[in-house]
Amino acid sequence: MKLFDAHCHLQDPRILSKAPNLIKTAQDSGVVHFVVNGVSEQDWHLVKDLAQNYPSIIPSFGLHPWSLSPFILIQFIIYSFNFVKKLTYLKVLGLMKLQVPSDRILLETDAPDALPMSNIDSLFFVEGDTSLPKELHDQITSSSTSTSLSNSSQVVIDASMLSKETLNHPANIRSVLDYVASMLEITKEELAELSYQNTVRLFSYEGSKLLQK
């Protein structure tokens, strides 16, 4: 089962130094490609470096609304609204259900943000994340595998009980897959194949690494 993370930020300074381990763990979980999105001209060189060093990474050089001046932000919103009316893709974080054509469904993690609100035992955590409870932080191995707090005196059952600052691991796209498949009432295998092909098609522009294989 192949997965394609359509939106993440592996260049984020909170996780950049851990990128090799994060990528390997996510790949072991079935992720074949990652679209790494720059948020301003300040991090585009990091996105470029990651794409040059990892065949699995598709670079995306963008401007996040938070990085724009008020005037430019207004223009960006107007442009985006007009653009979205013509081309709408659903990049699912497991937060909402929208009626969209099946050929517009993508999966994303938005890592290191947007930790899925799943059971702790099903999640992957970022090694060294100081926002985690001490019990959970101490149990995380160097491979950042999923961890349980079943033996802790302070039991944490699901991610909603964790700090909002908890880092999201790109391997948690499996949790997104599980949730969205149940929401759409299709199998995980069907959703994985559907979203993978949709994302490949979207990012198969002229010069794309996907067309060089």
pLDDT for the residue numbered 71: 60
Is 174 strand, coil or helix? helix
Model confidence pTM above 0.75: yes
Q: Counting every residue, how long is the chain?
A: 213
Which range of 45-54, 65-74, 100-109, 114-123 scores highest in mean pLDDT? It is: 45-54
Q: Domains in the chain, start-ordered, CATH in brackets?
A: 3-112+170-212 (3.20.20.140)
pLDDT for the residue numbered 144: 42
Q: What span, in angstroms and rounded, lies between the C-alpha atoms of 75 and 192?
A: 35
- 134-190 pLDDT tens trace: 767 666 644 444 433 444 434 556 677 888 899 999 999 999 999 999 988 899 999
137 annotated ligand-binding residue: no
Contact call for residues 143 and 201 (beta carbons, < 8 A): no
45 annotated ligand-binding residue: no
In sequence order, which residues have a C-beta less than 8 Å from that of residue 185 and are 6 or more positions away? Answer: none
pLDDT for the residue numbered 63: 72
- 190-213 pLDDT tens trace: 999 999 999 999 999 888 888 865
